[in-house]
Amino acid sequence: MVCGPKGSGKSTFSRMLLNRLLTDRPPTKPREVLTGFRSAQDPVFYLDLDPGQPEFSPQGQLSLLLIREPVLGPPYTHPLADCLTANQTVRAHSIASTNPKNDPIHFVTCALDLVTRYRQMLQDFPSSPLIVNCPGWILGSALEVTTDLIRKLSPTNVVYTSQSGPADIVRTLAQAAGQSVFNTVSSQMSAVTVHTSAQLRDMQTLSYFHTDTAINGKLRWNAKPLTSAIPWKVSYGEDNPGIIGVMSYGEYFHSEFLSTVLNGTLVAVVVIESNAAFGDRSPLPETESIADDEVQDDEQQPTIQLDGGGLRSLSQIQAQLSEMNSAQAVSQVADQVDTPPTVLRTEKENLPYIPCGSSGYTKPLDPRYSHTIGMALVRSIDVSTQTLLLLTPMSKETINGLYPDCQVVLVRGRFDTPSWSYTEKLSLRQHEKMRRRRRMKRGVEDVEESDEDEEDSIPWVSQSKTGTNPAGGQVWRSSHFNPRK
């Protein structure tokens, strides 16, 4: 289990450890003795709990993966792991945010569900080790979350990627490790920061949406702008809809703004395994906001006001979650299995959505009865045909396997705005103009493309001329997507 502060090299350390386990573990079968490599039947499990900088998935996602091949590049070189690639996603959950502190309870429930699935998989892969990559959020309530995960996972080794403390956090983690071997390693921080975390997420998301069909387990990329990609048409009408509705994690907004908020944003595609995933849709109270630089002691733990009254700390909630497999909990959920969720529709667009409680808090989907299969970009909303146009790199096999047996919910939240996708066409045209100029300077004849109505034909953005000053005379502004005609 690898944990530590932000930018301390957790992902790099985990990647190096993963490659070491894949290539240098002692062979266990005759064929492996000859080749020196482990067979595909004995992979390494990778539990990625960092929604801000995931290794094999888009932002906001927690994943359990089966890794069969060494990882030889940064995350944006392998942003997708599906049924067509050598490394596969076993199960994933989206918290619809790049920071787990926005909803630590949901983060813990998702993590525990992935741990449960890992233990089930051990029946088929008893000799496969597990690497857990934790987020860089270690201050405040995160310390309690991390220590609770250590106790529940009982890892053989816990590695803290910093030797500069804070001392109280290192001491608390070492105590939580108990019989586990606890080590600290020096942070591998770069003297010069080349890219920020937000830029790395943009690179990961851009790479994810530009992935093409995998061949022989190897990913390929499509360099064309997303505007040239053919979107999937998903019906949201009342007759044979392709989705149950849209859920919004995070801030509350009025339903009349749903189409505006949804248009041109990222959504997680979540498969509903049972109606119990929606649980009791009664309003839940909000958690207290805790600053990252505040370390809470036992008397200052974040509390949550429950419907029945009284306060419970985060550790008490986690203890309750660990008992959800009891017979009493199962009987409580059984009453909700056949109860469909409440689905409302917007007045103008007729978009289906799952409402939040009266407090404005949207209870997340129960990860025990749902899982995420990927991410999509809402290209446009065609009201006339009651369809959503979605761009996604998910394979045809994955999408065709959803219908007609699976129910799907689109979840939006605090994902980063994909501003890079709005200006891809513009950037490509500017690059082509520069290339033509260079060719003309070399005396190479080139067919000059017509620039007539070029500005008007660029999708998703509009140009506003505010003056003649060359430094700021032309401003490109994002606009709403228009349905493909």
* Predicted local confidence at residue 319, as pLDDT: 52
Q: Is the separation of the CB atoms in 268 and 94 below 8 Å?
A: yes
Q: Give the least confident one: 74-83, 231-240, 298-307, 462-471.
A: 298-307
Q: Is the separation of the CB atoms in 84 and 213 below 8 Å?
A: yes
The amino acid sitting at 275 is: N
Distance in angstroms (rounded) separating the CA atoms of residues 137 and 5? 7
Non-local (6+) Cβ contacts of 172 within 8 A are 143, 147
Nearest residue to 201 via CA among 321, 309, 330, 97: 97
The model's pLDDT over 91-136, given as tens digits with 9 standing for 90+, comes to 999 999 998 888 888 998 999 999 999 999 988 888 889 999 998 8
* Predicted local confidence at residue 437, as pLDDT: 83
Non-local (6+) Cβ contacts of 58 within 8 A are 79, 204, 205, 208, 266, 374, 375
pLDDT at 30 over 60: no
In a domain, 483, yes or no: no
Angle made by CA atoms 440, 444, 448, in degrees to the nearest 5: 60
Count of domains for the chain = 1
Q: How far from 48 is each of 40, 62, 135, 145, 482, CA to CA, in Å? A: 21, 6, 9, 15, 36
In a domain, 165, yes or no: yes
In a domain, 299, yes or no: no
* Predicted local confidence at residue 272, as pLDDT: 93
List the domain range (segments joined by +) for residue 83: 2-220
Distance in angstroms (rounded) separating the CA atoms of residues 322 and 69? 33
Nearest residue to 93 via CA among 125, 68, 116: 116
The model's pLDDT over 186-204, given as tens digits with 9 standing for 90+, comes to 876 665 567 888 888 999 9
pLDDT at 80 over 80: yes
The model's pLDDT over 350-401, given as tens digits with 9 standing for 90+, comes to 999 998 866 667 889 999 999 999 999 999 999 999 999 999 998 888 888 8
> What is the SS3 string spanning 216-285?
CEEEEECCCCHHHCCCEEEECCCCCCCCCEEEECCCCCCHHHHHHHHCCCEEEEEEECCHHHHCCCCCCC
The predicted model scores a pTM of 0.79
Edge-first strand listing for the sheet containing 130-133: 88-94, 61-67, 44-48, 130-133, 2-3, 157-160, 181-184
The model's pLDDT over 201-218, given as tens digits with 9 standing for 90+, comes to 999 999 999 988 766 667
Q: What is the maximal distance between C-alpha atoms in the chain?
A: 81
In a domain, 246, yes or no: no
Nearest residue to 73 via CA among 207, 210, 224, 222: 207
In a domain, 438, yes or no: no
The 3-state DSSP class for residue 144 equals helix
In a domain, 186, yes or no: yes
In a domain, 73, yes or no: yes
* Predicted local confidence at residue 370, as pLDDT: 94
CATH number of 110's domain: 3.40.50.300
Average pLDDT (252-273) is 90
The mean pLDDT value of the chain amounts to: 77
Distance in angstroms (rounded) separating the CA atoms of residues 469 and 387? 43
Non-local (6+) Cβ contacts of 479 within 8 A are 460, 461, 462
Spell out where 56-185 has E strands.
61-67, 88-94, 130-133, 157-160, 181-184
In a domain, 420, yes or no: no
